[in-house]
Structure 1
Amino acid sequence: MSGVTMKNVIKRYGDTQVIHGIDLKIEDGEFCVFVGPSGCGKSTLLRMVAGLEETTEGEMHIGSRDVTRMDPSERGVAMVFQTYALYPHMTVRENMGFGLKMNGYPKAEIAEKVAEATRILKLEEYLERKPAALSGGQRQRVSIGRAIVRGPDVFLFDEPLSNLDAELRVEMRVEIARLHKEIGATMIYVTHDQVEAMTLADKIVVLRKGVIEQVGAPMDLYRDPDNKFVAGFIGSPAMNFVQGTVGEGSIDIPGIGQSVPATIATAYKGRKVSAGLRPEHLVIDPAGDVLRVDLTESLGGVSYAYLEAPTGERIVVEERGDDRVREGERVGLSFEPKRLYLFDAETEARIRS
């Protein structure tokens, strides 16, 4: 098994550049997730690792090997796609072993590898079924099993759960996490779903417009985002952003009707900033009269209140417990000042005290 190293990796389609000088090191055995909005370049970057997209400039290494110009079959990778791509006329057993059969592996070795993958993925009772007789989750497990039997250095997952319903997504997410724990292989996983990223990853790479915005462990990105984009993308529901003005040792935030103590560089005095507050860090004050409750969503153990500020800004608040606000009520907000994130209104870079 091997890690992956990218050195100033660039991808162009004609005159259009879509990947802009990526430098990244993924350690051996690490579960790395590429996450970002549609069109950010995450699938393109994954396909460049696989060799399905040519690297225009820069270097791509898997372990100690420079694979930049190698064919996909020479790279030691296995890819699991969004679509299952199973042969409909073959059984599960035949689908999983087909790649090895085509490469001339002995029947006994193929049977041994298929049996091991079957054990890991708990597919024993489905071996003689054909894809049409399987659920979506079972088909995706077969697709993963086909990758396992190849014994690759690196597993690549391109949004493998996006075709599944909500319940199966959760189930398969657990299966993939367990798989990584059992076989300990290097895995690179692409998703636009930050919940998948947070729950699966050892390392998250946040991409936007072909550029890395931040790399780190899930909770490091959640607790210490470098910019407004990462702060808004990591966390569910997303962080609230309201406009504030820097005063003398405080931030005036009209949207919540408060002036919050804050230590900030004197160069920012009098300037506009974007103040970030996570829904789970806010507490509704029923005695207040600053914001109007526009909408509530109850999910049982938790609910979300959508508040309209006097400035027209929208603020989402997470509520737990039995006493929850109702639509149309007027309320205030409170929070610990240390929970306030500040971002430059122009560059969107994080302002750290």
Structure 2
Amino acid sequence: MTGVTLERAIKRYGTAQVIHGVDLEIQDGEFCVFVGPSGCGKSTLLRMIAGLEETTEGTINIGARDVTHMDPAKRGVAMVFQTYALYPHMTVGENMGFGLKMNGVAKAEIDKKVQEASNILKLDQYLKRKPKALSGGQRQRVAIGRAIVRGPEVFLFDEPLSNLDAELRVEMRVEIARLHQEIGATMIYVTHDQVEAMTMADKIVVLRDGRIEQVGAPLELYRNPKNKFVAGFIGSPSMNFLDCDVADGALVHPALTQPFKPSVDLPTGATKVTLGIRPEHIEIDRAANNLSVELTEALGGVSYTYVSASNGDRMIVEEREDERSTTGESVGMTFRPDRALLFDVETGQRL
């Protein structure tokens, strides 16, 4: 197995540039997730690594090899797509071994590798079935098995779970994470779902408009986002943001029952600062009444309460206690000062 390195990678379609000089190092055996909103360039970047998109400028290395302009088949990668792309007239075993068969590998060797992959993915009892006799999750496991059989240096996953229902998504997340632990391969995984990113990744790459916003371990990005975009994208529900007025070194906002004096120095001359607080770091204060409860989503062990201030700013509060807020109620809030983050109103950069 081996790592992947991108140096000043650029992709253009004519005059339109969609990937802007990406520098990234993915270590050997690492599970790296590209995450970001639709159109941010995560799938394009993955396809550049696979060789399915031509790299306009810069270099891509897999291990010690420069594969920037190398044929996809020679790069030592295997890709699992959003669609399963299985041959309907072939059995599971035939689908998994088809790539090796086309490369002239002996039948005995193909059967051995297919059996090894089916053992890992618990597909032994389905090897003689056709794809139409399988569930969505089973078909996706066959597609992953086809990739394993090839014995690649790097596995590439392009939103492989987006066609599955919620329960199967959770199941397959566990399956892929277990697969990574078992075979120890370098894996690069693309998703727009930050929950998948947080639960599966060793390293998360947050992308926006073809540029990397931040790279780090899941909890590092969650606790120490570099800017408002990362702070709002990582975490579910997303972080609350309040544009506060600055008065005598303190933040003032209708949602706050009293001015908040942050522990960090505010920019000289700043009149406004964005305050960021995650829903789980807020508590409802029933002794105050400066917030109106618009809606409560009761999910059993936790409720998400949507509140609004007099200026129309809205926030989400996580509640876990037995007593929970109800729609139409007037409440206040308190929050953990050590978990509050401050951002520049204009640039969105963390203060």
- TM-score (norm: length of structure 1): 0.98
Q: Cα deviation per residue 1:223-246 (whole Å; 9 max; x = unaligned)?
A: 000000000000000000011123
Q: Which amino acid aligns with 1:242?
A: L
* Aligned twin of 2:192: 192
- How far apart, CA to CA, are the structure 1 residues paired with 2:107 and 2:80? 24
Counterparts of 1:177-256 in structure 2 under 5 Å? 177-256=177-256
- With 19-28 and 238-247 compared, the bigger mean Cα shift is at 238-247
* Aligned twin of 1:121: 121
- How far apart, CA to CA, are the structure 1 residues paired with 2:264 and 2:339? 15
* Aligned twin of 1:315: 315
Preserved CA contact (<8 Å) 1:247 1:269: no
Q: Which amino acid aligns with 1:298?
A: A
Q: CA deviation at 1:342?
A: 0.5
- How far apart, CA to CA, are the structure 1 residues paired with 2:136 and 2:21? 37
The verdict on how the C-alpha distance between 1:284 and 1:147 changes in structure 2, with shifts beyond 3 A counting, is same
* Aligned twin of 2:64: 64
Q: Which amino acid aligns with 1:171?
A: E
Q: Cα deviation per residue 1:241-295 (whole Å; 9 max; x = unaligned)?
A: 0111233342222333331121343534442111101000000011111000000
Q: Which amino acid aligns with 1:243?
A: D
Q: Cα deviation per residue 1:166-190 (whole Å; 9 max; x = unaligned)?
A: 0000000000000000000000000
Q: Cα deviation per residue 1:190-226 (whole Å; 9 max; x = unaligned)?
A: 0000000000000000000000000000000000000
Q: Cα deviation per residue 1:4-24 (whole Å; 9 max; x = unaligned)?
A: 000000000000000000000
Q: CA deviation at 1:335?
A: 1.1
- How far apart, CA to CA, are the structure 1 residues paired with 2:141 and 2:267? 56
The verdict on how the C-alpha distance between 1:270 and 1:3 changes in structure 2, with shifts beyond 3 A counting, is closer
Q: Which amino acid aligns with 1:237?
A: P
Preserved CA contact (<8 Å) 1:32 1:205: yes
Q: Cα deviation per residue 1:46-80 (whole Å; 9 max; x = unaligned)?
A: 00000000000000000000000101000000000
- How far apart, CA to CA, are the structure 2 residues paired with 1:238 and 1:12? 32
Preserved CA contact (<8 Å) 1:246 1:269: no
- How far apart, CA to CA, are the structure 1 residues paired with 2:218 and 2:95? 35
Preserved CA contact (<8 Å) 1:80 1:156: yes
* Aligned twin of 1:24: 24
Give the match's secondary structure for 1:125: helix
Preserved CA contact (<8 Å) 2:3 2:29: yes
Q: Which amino acid aligns with 2:128?
A: E
Q: CA deviation at 1:299?
A: 0.5
Q: Which amino acid aligns with 1:286?
A: R
- With 269-278 and 232-241 compared, the bigger mean Cα shift is at 269-278
Counterparts of 1:1-353 in structure 2 under 5 Å? 1-265=1-265, 267-351=267-351
Preserved CA contact (<8 Å) 1:273 1:343: yes
Q: Which amino acid aligns with 2:350?
A: R
Give the RMSD, CA atoms, in angstroms.
0.9
Q: Which amino acid aligns with 1:176?
A: I
Q: How many residues are paired up? A: 351
Q: Which amino acid aligns with 1:318?
A: E
- How far apart, CA to CA, are the structure 1 residues paired with 2:171 and 2:347? 40
Preserved CA contact (<8 Å) 2:255 2:332: no
- How far apart, CA to CA, are the structure 1 residues paired with 2:163 and 2:62? 29
Structure 1 unaligned residues grouped into runs of 5+: none
Give the match's secondary structure for 1:256: coil
Q: Cα deviation per residue 1:279-330 (whole Å; 9 max; x = unaligned)?
A: 0000001111100000000001101000011110011000002100100000
- How far apart, CA to CA, are the structure 2 residues paired with 1:322 and 1:266? 38
Preserved CA contact (<8 Å) 2:5 2:25: yes
Structure 2 unaligned residues grouped into runs of 5+: none
- How far apart, CA to CA, are the structure 2 residues paired with 1:155 and 1:336? 41
- How far apart, CA to CA, are the structure 2 residues paired with 1:166 and 1:232? 23
Give the match's secondary structure for 1:258: coil
Preserved CA contact (<8 Å) 1:83 1:160: yes
Preserved CA contact (<8 Å) 1:248 1:269: no
- How far apart, CA to CA, are the structure 2 residues paired with 1:270 and 1:19? 34
Give the 4+ runs in structure 1 shifted more than 4 A.
none
Give the match's secondary structure for 2:251: strand
- How far apart, CA to CA, are the structure 2 residues paired with 1:176 and 1:265? 44
- How far apart, CA to CA, are the structure 2 residues paired with 1:268 and 1:233? 28
Give the match's secondary structure for 1:21: strand
